[in-house]
Amino acid sequence: MKEQHHQSEFDVIIIGGGATGAGTARDCAMRGMRVLLVERHDFAAGATGRNHGLLHSGARYAVTDHESAAECIKENMILRRIARHCVEENDGLFITLPEDDLSYQSTFVDACLKAGINAEVIDPALAKRMEPSVNPSIIGAVKVPDGSVDPFRLTLANVIDAKAHGAKVLVYHQVVALIKEQGRVIGVTVVDQKTKEKTNYYAPLTISAGGIWGHGIAEMAGVKVDMYPAKGSLLIFGHRVNNVVLNRCRKPANADILVPGDTICLIGTTSSHVGFDEVDDLRVTPDEVDLLLREGEKLAPSLATTRILRAYAGVRPLVAADNDPTGRNISRGIVLLDHEERDGVPGFATITGGKLMTYRLMAEWAADLACRKLGIDKSCTTMTDPLPGSREGNEAPTGKSFVMEGGRKSAYVRHGELASRIAAENEYDNSLVCECEDVSVGEVKYALENLDVNNMVDLRRRTRVGMGTCQGELCACRAAGLLGEAHNCTKKAEADLTSFLNERWKGVYPVAWGSALRENEYTKWVYDGVCGLK
Partner 1 sequence: MNLQESNISENNFEQCIKCTVCTVYCPVVPVNPKYPGPKQAGPDGERLRLKRGTFFDEALKYCLNCKRCEVACPSNVKIGDIIQLARIKYSKKKPSLRDTILANTDVVGTMSSAFAPIVNTTLSLKPVKLLMDSVLKVDHRRSFPKYSGEKFVTWFKKNAAARQDAFKHHVSFFHGCYINYNYPQLGKDVVSVMNALGYGVHMLEKEKCCGVALVSNGLIDQARSQAKLNVASIRKSVNEEKRPVIAASSTCTFTMRDEYPHLLGVDNADVRDQIEIVTRFVYRLIEEGKVKLKFRDGGKLRVAYHTPCHMEKLGWAYYSTALLRMIPNIDFVMLPSQCCGIGGTYGFKKENYETSQGIGASLFAAIEEAKVDYVATDCETCKWQIEMSTTTKVEHPISILARCLDLEATSKLNC
Residue numbers at the binding site for partner 1 (CB under 8 A) = 238-240, 262-263, 286, 289-290, 293-294, 302, 304-308, 396, 398, 400-402, 409-410, 413, 435-436, 438, 468-470, 473-474, 513-515, 518-519, 522
Which residues is 95 bridged to in the sheet?
141, 248
**Residue 179 vs 403, nearer CB to partner 1:** 403
Nearest distance, CB of residue 368 and partner 1, angstroms: 38
In this structure, are strands 308-319 and 184-192 parallel, antiparallel, or unpaired? Answer: unpaired
- Minimal distance in Å, beta carbon 451 to partner 1? 22
Name the 3-class secondary structure at 236.
Answer: strand
To the nearest whole angstrom, how small is the minimum distance from the Cβ of residue 179 to partner 1?
48
Cis before 269 (ω within 30): yes
**Beta strand extents in 7-73 (DSSP E only):** 12-15, 35-38, 54-55
For residues 497 and 44, give the distance between their C-alpha atoms in angstroms, rounded to a whole number: 21
| Residue number with CB closer to partner 1 (345 or 465) | 465
Query: 325 or 514, CB closer to partner 1?
Result: 514
Q: Which is nearer to partner 1, 47 or 419 (CB)?
A: 419
- CB contact at 8 A, 424 and 457: no
Are 447 and 481 in contact by the 8 Å Cβ rule? The answer is no
Q: How far is the CB of 444 from partner 1 (least distance, A)?
A: 17
Q: Which run of H or of E encompasses 175?
A: strand 173-181
| Cβ distance to partner 1 smaller for residue 179 or 413 | 413
H or E stretch at 310:
strand 308-319
Distance of closest approach, residue 134 Cβ to partner 1, in angstroms: 16
CB of 304 to partner 1, least distance (A): 6
Alpha carbon distance 441, 439 (integer Å): 7
Nearer to partner 1, 401 or 488 (CB): 401
Give the three-class secondary structure for 101: coil
Tell me which amino acid residue 117 is.
I
Q: Give me the least distance between CB of 55 and partner 1, in Å please.
A: 16
What's the rounded Cα separation, in Å, for the pair 415 and 153?
Answer: 8
Pairing status of strand 92-96 against strand 140-144 = antiparallel
Backbone angles phi, psi at 103, to 5 degrees: -70, -20
Instruction: Give the DSSP H or E segment for 315.
Output: strand 308-319
Residue 89 CA to its chain's centroid (Å):
17
Query: Whole-number minimum distance, CB 290 to partner 1, in Å?
Result: 5
Q: Which is nearer to partner 1, 98 or 514 (CB)?
A: 514
Beta-bridged to residue 13, according to DSSP, are: 36, 206
CB of 514 to partner 1, least distance (A): 4
Among residues 159 and 465, whose Cβ is nearest to partner 1? 465
Please say which residue, 65 or 473, places its beta carbon nearer to partner 1: 473
CA neighbor of 382 nearest in space, from 366, 393, 395, 398: 366
C-beta closer to partner 1: residue 150 or 364: 150
- Give the nearer residue to partner 1 in terms of CB position, either 195 or 398: 398
Shortest Å, Cβ 305 to partner 1:
4
Q: 461: exposed, middle or buried (C-beta count within 10 Å: 0-12, 13-18, 19+)?
A: buried
Q: Closest separation between CB of residue 507 and partner 1, Å? A: 16
Q: Helices (H), strands (E): how many in the chain? A: 17, 26
CB nearer to partner 1: pick between 338 and 435: 435
Q: Sheet harboring 184-192: ordered strands across? A: 2-3, 198-202, 184-192, 173-181
Q: How many residues does the chain have?
A: 534
| Residue 288: C-alpha distances to residues 11, 123, 158, 235 (Å) | 45, 33, 33, 10
* Residue 310 β-bridge partners: 236
Cβ proximity to partner 1, 50 vs 409, nearer residue: 409
List all residues 6 or more positions away from 125 whose beta carbon is below 8 Å from its beta carbon. none
Minimum CB–partner distance for residue 161 and partner 1 (Å)? 26
- Burial 191-225, CB ≥16 within 10 A → b, else e: beeeeeeeebbbbbbbbbbbbbbbbebbebbebeb
Give min distance, CB of 51 to partner 1, in A: 20
Q: Which is nearer to partner 1, 64 or 263 (CB)?
A: 263
Question: What gap in Å lies between CA 285 and CA 69, rounded to an integer?
Answer: 31
| Least Cβ distance, residue 186 to partner 1 (angstroms) | 49
Helices 456-463 & 151-164, crossing angle to 10 degrees? 100
